[in-house]
Amino acid sequence: MNFRSDNILGCPPAILEAMARVNDTPTHPYGHDPITARLNPRFSEVFEHEAFVFPVSSGTAANGLSLAAVTPPWGVVFCHRLAHIVRDEWCSPEFFSGGARLLTVDGPGAKIAPEQLDGQVRLTTHAGKPSTLSVTEATEAGTVYTPDELGALVEVARSHGLAVQMDGARFANALVALGCSAADLSWRLGVDALSFGATKNGTLTAEGVVVFRRDLAEELAHRRKRAGQVSSKMRFFSAQLEAYLADDLWLANARAANASAHRLGEGLRAAGLELVVPVEANLVFPRVPRPLRDRLRTQGFEFLDWPALGDDVVRLVCGFATPDANVDTLVAACRA
Amino acid sequence: MNFRSDNILGCPPAILEAMARVNDTPTHPYGHDPITARLNPRFSEVFEHEAFVFPVSSGTAANGLSLAAVTPPWGVVFCHRLAHIVRDEWCSPEFFSGGARLLTVDGPGAKIAPEQLDGQVRLTTHAGKPSTLSVTEATEAGTVYTPDELGALVEVARSHGLAVQMDGARFANALVALGCSAADLSWRLGVDALSFGATKNGTLTAEGVVVFRRDLAEELAHRRKRAGQVSSKMRFFSAQLEAYLADDLWLANARAANASAHRLGEGLRAAGLELVVPVEANLVFPRVPRPLRDRLRTQGFEFLDWPALGDDVVRLVCGFATPDANVDTLVAACRA
Amino acid sequence: MNFRSDNILGCPPAILEAMARVNDTPTHPYGHDPITARLNPRFSEVFEHEAFVFPVSSGTAANGLSLAAVTPPWGVVFCHRLAHIVRDEWCSPEFFSGGARLLTVDGPGAKIAPEQLDGQVRLTTHAGKPSTLSVTEATEAGTVYTPDELGALVEVARSHGLAVQMDGARFANALVALGCSAADLSWRLGVDALSFGATKNGTLTAEGVVVFRRDLAEELAHRRKRAGQVSSKMRFFSAQLEAYLADDLWLANARAANASAHRLGEGLRAAGLELVVPVEANLVFPRVPRPLRDRLRTQGFEFLDWPALGDDVVRLVCGFATPDANVDTLVAACRA
Amino acid sequence: MNFRSDNILGCPPAILEAMARVNDTPTHPYGHDPITARLNPRFSEVFEHEAFVFPVSSGTAANGLSLAAVTPPWGVVFCHRLAHIVRDEWCSPEFFSGGARLLTVDGPGAKIAPEQLDGQVRLTTHAGKPSTLSVTEATEAGTVYTPDELGALVEVARSHGLAVQMDGARFANALVALGCSAADLSWRLGVDALSFGATKNGTLTAEGVVVFRRDLAEELAHRRKRAGQVSSKMRFFSAQLEAYLADDLWLANARAANASAHRLGEGLRAAGLELVVPVEANLVFPRVPRPLRDRLRTQGFEFLDWPALGDDVVRLVCGFATPDANVDTLVAACRA
């Protein structure tokens, strides 16, 4: 049983069906098709604001493009030391931005502490131009900034003239955890560019960059084309995103994943394991002593060690289609 | 009826079926899955040589990555003045390579003339380091280099120490046109890096970079990850490529497309139109006087003007699923 | 005797004296010194417009930075096919701009023909965003655009929304040839960014980037620092530029160089040699049959072959301190 | 009196005299001159090993080029958190390398602790490829690694396959502090690329990149040209470096600077001020309470606050020509 990542799952049937439907009719390539044409209006509806969405093929590309849209090549991006962009993306932010710098800030639960952001920006005198705050929502520790928390952070960012980019690889998980609207967690807080995660939560090969200003959209059109992210059959990416939003599939998926994680977290706690951060989205971080870890792996459970959050900590990820039975089996194995 | 591009079509059922099959079983993300693991052996079989394939999401990315793998940031890439990389990819080769220069060479039928390549390289003294020959097979004019022609060109390239990259957006169309093996048209001729086109010929969202040396493969692994081309659910790209090769689907598709184009070309010639280049793959370039062009468009035919090949020239593209009826209707409309 | 380049000469005594004077007094590093502080006012006076000057250490850096200030990484720069930026700077424009593309345009005497610029821009649809016209004044063929000629070219550029950069490696030579003011040949025509040549005409190690708008100045401050062009002892670059302008030394130097070239050109013509372009600045391009060329070299004359301007053409360069005796000796040797 | 930086001083007379001598004779540009030709042999002598030196115009360029020569665009460079490359160079390492990442390591006295290097490299799994150790000798805190200390650090670097770059902005100060040869502190320890500081210690506008392997030299030739660091009158940079080494001027200068700093440090300690790091080269870091700091500034003393080393810490820099009288006046002012 695989708790290694959200990405071990494929997609709900609706996504493949949407792709199959698109396949029936020849149409214009490179995004000049009716499916893609429907995306901006649809996202504008979802976000309650004029929105421009750019389908891309990976979260790394979405992060790189959205960061580059708001950061000059000599700009400094401030992010949490546990952020995906700084730990996992193989110098991709530097590549997409043409040389910007990431500087890390700390804070409990993988959330940036406002006063630490303020301090780090003030220390940045000749390293580069302080340019961008990057926040991850939900965070890499599975915690969720409240709108108030994000607001406080954005206020610090604005006081230093920083733009705000959001890595929303688990944006839907955060939304349903908070009971927030997409607007409440993005442009209303001052988010300029959003990496709109979809793959972890149910699409196959489609992510999106969402911006709320026409000037950023124009720049992104250039950047996306140059980065090889204008697929000739873009409609198959667009169809995934459309089906993902239809009938609130994305929110239902996120709710299922979060519920699984809560079930898992409660089960583990009841089994006597300590959770080093509270379960707020779809990630669970228990401390699992090595003998138990080894035994679980021998029994076929798959998961990653996560030393960044402490000794013996492992990461367990639930997805939109993680069966309760799997969760319960893992809990039982831990209890045994 | 749309003759605008190969990309107006979707995919044969086998491609979507392969994606659906993959969807059944959770597995490791980021390419650490059994489908992706089968790709290198399969491509090695097809190419009769140890081959390393990197699934990516667009032809522009495939070209950019394959060029960058063999060209330093101060390198000069020599390509035909009609090449896709120099006319259509929005400074993407510069982006992926970190600043390499494209210099164009001429030659009839969109094929580089060896003596012109030689002359252009000799003139390149302080512009940058002559580094790479990029050839397009089949070409942007729908012509096909014979292995002998390519061999002569590669010989010039080698005499100047250039690496050889091939834009194979229509590689399959060239293969079946020539009756060649994949090996005959790649490493045996000295091709170092191949942009293996698949989308135009039947996949939905999957292209590949193919190299034949381990050192290039190692470098590409870095470049691909940095460029956001390691999809978390890479298996859905890999499945498309696998199904594309299975039962020689790719060759059958290319044969169908080429046959349509021949049918179209012959029909048009019989209708009294001049073809400015011979039909060798799946593209047809007739000279269509403006009144006829306007009338065709009014009747709902879609195609692009192609002034690069002469006054009044248009481009007509046939795909793997272009119905004969469409071809015949267009011919009839031209005859009328 | 060396007619190879303007750069074979050092500097007039005033330049070294200015450096020695600066050496007497400790002062703030990185350009926060009184000499550097005087530069903007002085250049504003010379250009009769608010001007911002950035001392840099080479013409390649000056071109790269000035191009990058007005060209996005996906922008296309149009320049003459004989321009220094495209023939001699080792992919440096790509490096400084982060990946912009150079496309060449033709025209007689190394001057861009307006209608050819117009045609080339119109053909540039998907190669990248048409962004910048780069003109060289005086040109690489030693010819000089008149203000009217430049005006016509800039008008075409503006009609396509292009910015205008000028490679002024021999700006002073053009000014004195035309009897123009610096303003007449720069911002009044619509030049946005000027690579202000000084080394060829009398400084040792100092060039300048000059812009006429505060927003470009702000961007250049970032770019220059990032490119390692903020020398810690910048005052020694600034002192050279100040002395170069003082008492119109720069214009006197350019007049001397141009006069030498005219003397040489007339002498060679009188000796029966054909000049393939008229002498307008400080470069002379005679056709010199191989036997004569070989004899001249045997006699110790140094110069470069310049096949770009025709068979048997050589380039002869006069500088601010080329002795008349050298000119006359060369003429005599040709006559013999 | 200015204790702000080494760069407030100009140069000893010998440097300007060397430039004046070069000025007498026309010669080939772009480094094809006899002065530049003498540099490699001279540096090889000084370093007791075949050495290749590339004169450049700033320390930032020297660091950027030397880092880029040994670090791929997806490489991670490990440096001390106080290193100049990470705090002061405006994203220049990213620019020159095409996107490499800097990750910081800690250690007392601005020296990297070997076990911290080891830990940081081990944590770097998906951020980028661990590629380079960058050490600063003497450090930004004015301390000096002993050869043994550096050796231990290089050993850790080698165990992870890292290349070693040295920022030698104050290399001469370290040499004389240790009584070492240049060889002992560079290639013998495994340093691959050295940013050879000269400006801080007596040249006007010349720094150098020194490498000890022909392959790195070849790559640097490309990189330097592309970066606009091939000055057309390179001989004036080369002459400075030659004069700098002649008669051990560089070592004499460094000795004078270090002696001044020791005199200053002892004086301050005697005056009751605490030095937060020992004086080993030419930098002194006393803790100076705000009232005294303010008074000193009112009296005309100039220096920088240096909070990175602690509250109330200031940086005092002595140069090759800091008069003892200045030192004594400052000490007296502190004592008062």
CA distance A157 to A169: 21
Q: A173 and A308 share a domain? A: no
C260 has a chain D CB within 8 A of its CB? no
CA distance C278 to D5: 53
User: Are A4 and B231 within 8 A, CB to CB?
Assistant: no
Q: D43 and D129 share a domain? A: yes
CATH of the domain at B302: 3.90.1150.10
B189 to chain C, minimum CA–CA distance in Å? Answer: 29
Tell me how long chain D is. Answer: 336
Is the Cβ–Cβ distance between A7 and B232 less than 8 Å?
A: yes
Residue B1 forms part of a structural domain? no
* SS3 (DSSP) at A24: coil
Sole residue written with tokens 């050495």:
D51
Residue A48 forms part of a structural domain? yes
Instruction: Kindly tell me if the per-residue pLDDT of B213 is higher than 90.
Output: yes
Scanning C63-82 for CB atoms below 8 A from D yields 63-64
DSSP letter (8 states) at residue B233: T
CA distance D31 to D85: 27
- For D225-284, list the strands marked E by DSSP: 283-284
Sole residue written with tokens 């004029």:
A50
Residue C273 forms part of a structural domain? yes
D325 has a chain C CB within 8 A of its CB? no
CA distance D268 to C187: 55
Per residue in C22-51, pLDDT tens? 998 999 999 999 999 999 999 999 999 999
Please report residues of C whose CB lies closer than 8 A to that of A72.
222
Among A90, A99, A128, the residue with its CB nearest the CB of D126 is A90
- Please provide the DSSP assignment of B109-132 as one string: GGPPPHHHHHHHHHH-SSSSEEEE
D23 has a chain C CB within 8 A of its CB? yes
Sole residue written with tokens 């022909």:
D214
Among A86, A98, A127, the residue with its CB nearest the CB of D127 is A86
Interface test with B, best of C58, C63, C77, C94 (most B CBs within 10 A): C94
Is the Cβ–Cβ distance between B30 and B195 less than 8 Å?
A: no
Q: C260 and C122 share a domain? A: no
pLDDT of amino acid B186: 98
Q: B260 and B129 share a domain? A: no
DSSP letter (8 states) at residue A113: P
- Residue B163 confidence class, pLDDT cut points 50, 70, 90: very high
User: Are D16 and C4 within 8 A, CB to CB?
Assistant: no
A100 has a chain D CB within 8 A of its CB? yes
Among D72, D73, D222, the residue with its CB nearest the CB of B74 is D222
D74 to chain B, minimum CA–CA distance in Å? Answer: 7
pLDDT of amino acid C336: 82
**Alpha-carbon distances, residue D325 vs A197, D260, D321, D322 (angstroms):** 66, 10, 11, 8
CA distance D297 to D283: 19
Q: C140 and C229 share a domain? A: yes
CA distance C190 to C212: 10
Residue B298 forms part of a structural domain? yes
Q: B223 and B154 share a domain? A: yes
Which of the listed residues B248, B263, B292 is the one where a domain comes to its end?
B248
Sole residue written with tokens 């730990």:
A87
Beta-bridge partners for D316 = D284
pLDDT of amino acid C45: 98
**Alpha-carbon distances, residue C101 vs B4, B96, C71 (angstroms):** 27, 13, 10
Tokens representing A217 are 């959209």
Please report residues of B whose CB lies closer than 8 A to that of D223.
74
Work out the angle at residue B48's Cα, subtended by the Cα atoms of residues B43 and B54, and round it to the nearest 5 degrees.
25
| Contacts of D among chains (3+ CB pairs under 8 A) | A, B, C
CATH of the domain at A192: 3.40.640.10
The residue among D306, D70, D249, D74 whose CA lies nearest residue D167 is: D70
Which of the listed residues D216, D248, D280 is the one where a domain comes to its end?
D248
Interface test with A, best of D94, D120, D306 (most A CBs within 10 A): D94
Q: How remote is the C-alpha of B190 from its chain's centroid?
A: 17
Residue B220 forms part of a structural domain? yes
The residue among B55, B61, B58 whose CA lies nearest residue B243 is: B55
Burial class (CB in 10 A: 0-12, 13-18, 19+), B294: exposed
Per residue in B278-315, pLDDT tens? 999 999 999 999 999 999 999 999 999 999 999 999 99
User: Are A94 and D99 within 8 A, CB to CB?
Assistant: yes
CA distance B299 to B330: 10
Instruction: Kindly tell me if the per-residue pLDDT of B79 is higher than 90.
Output: yes
Please report residues of B whose CB lies closer than 8 A to that of A9.
26
pLDDT of amino acid B93: 98
Interface test with D, best of C67, C90, C195 (most D CBs within 10 A): C90
Q: D143 and D286 share a domain? A: no
Burial class (CB in 10 A: 0-12, 13-18, 19+), D271: middle
CA distance D77 to D155: 16
Q: D37 and D126 share a domain? A: yes
Q: Is the pTM of this model over 0.95?
A: yes
What domain count does chain C have? 2
User: Are A91 and D126 within 8 A, CB to CB?
Assistant: no
pLDDT of amino acid B164: 98
Per residue in D212-241, pLDDT tens? 999 999 999 999 999 999 999 999 999 999
**Alpha-carbon distances, residue D120 vs A111, A206, B263, D68, D271 (angstroms):** 22, 34, 64, 21, 41
CA distance B237 to C85: 42
User: Are A5 and B232 within 8 A, CB to CB?
Assistant: yes
Helix A235-245 / helix A249-270 crossing angle, nearest 10 deg: 60
A323 has a chain B CB within 8 A of its CB? no
In tens digits, chain C (336 residues) has pLDDT values of 999 999 999 999 999 999 999 998 999 999 999 999 999 999 999 999 999 999 999 999 999 999 999 999 999 999 999 999 999 999 999 999 999 999 999 999 999 999 999 999 999 999 999 999 999 999 999 999 999 999 999 999 999 999 999 999 999 999 999 999 999 999 999 999 999 999 999 999 999 999 999 999 999 999 999 999 999 999 999 999 999 999 999 999 999 999 999 999 999 999 999 999 999 999 999 999 999 999 999 999 999 999 999 999 999 999 999 999 999 999 999 998
Q: B128 and B93 share a domain? A: yes
Q: D62 and D105 share a domain? A: yes
**Alpha-carbon distances, residue B12 vs A54, B17, B201, C111, D21 (angstroms):** 26, 9, 10, 54, 77
Per residue in A254-292, pLDDT tens? 999 999 999 999 999 999 999 999 999 999 999 999 999
User: Are C74 and A222 within 8 A, CB to CB?
Assistant: yes
Residue D203 forms part of a structural domain? yes
pLDDT of amino acid A336: 82
Per residue in A207-248, pLDDT tens? 999 999 999 999 999 999 999 999 999 999 999 999 999 999
Please report residues of D whose CB lies closer than 8 A to that of A95.
73-74, 99
Instruction: Kindly tell me if the per-residue pLDDT of D79 is higher than 90.
Output: yes
pLDDT of amino acid B190: 97
B325 has a chain A CB within 8 A of its CB? no
Q: D40 and D147 share a domain? A: yes
Q: Compute how many other C-beta atoms are within 10 angstroms of the C-beta atom of residue C13.
A: 11
Q: C108 and C225 share a domain? A: yes
Please report residues of C whose CB lies closer than 8 A to that of A73.
98, 226
CA distance B33 to B31: 5
Percent of chain D exceeding pLDDT 70 equals 100
Residue C1 forms part of a structural domain? no
State chain D's mean pLDDT as an integer.
Answer: 97
CA distance D201 to D12: 10
Per residue in C262-311, pLDDT tens? 999 999 999 999 999 999 999 999 999 999 999 999 999 999 999 999 99
The residue among D115, D114, D160, D110 whose CA lies nearest residue D139 is: D110
Which of the listed residues B248, B273, B295 is the one where a domain comes to its end?
B248
Per residue in D242-259, pLDDT tens? 999 999 999 999 999 999
**Among chain A residues, CA nearest to C130:** A222
Instruction: Kindly tell me if the per-residue pLDDT of B18 is higher than 90.
Output: yes
Instruction: Kindly tell me if the per-residue pLDDT of A22 is higher than 90.
Output: yes
CA distance B135 to B153: 9
Amino acid at A313: V
Q: In what order do the strands lie in the sheet with A283-284?
A: A283-284, A314-317, A304-305
Q: Compute how many other C-beta atoms are within 10 angstroms of the C-beta atom of residue B118.
A: 17
Residue D63 forms part of a structural domain? yes
Q: Which helix (H) or strand (E) holds C55?
A: strand C52-56
Query: ipTM score here?
Result: 0.96
Averaged pLDDT for residues B313-336: 97
Instruction: Kindly tell me if the per-residue pLDDT of D336 is higher than 90.
Output: no
CA distance A210 to A62: 9
- Domain of residue B107: give its range: 12-248
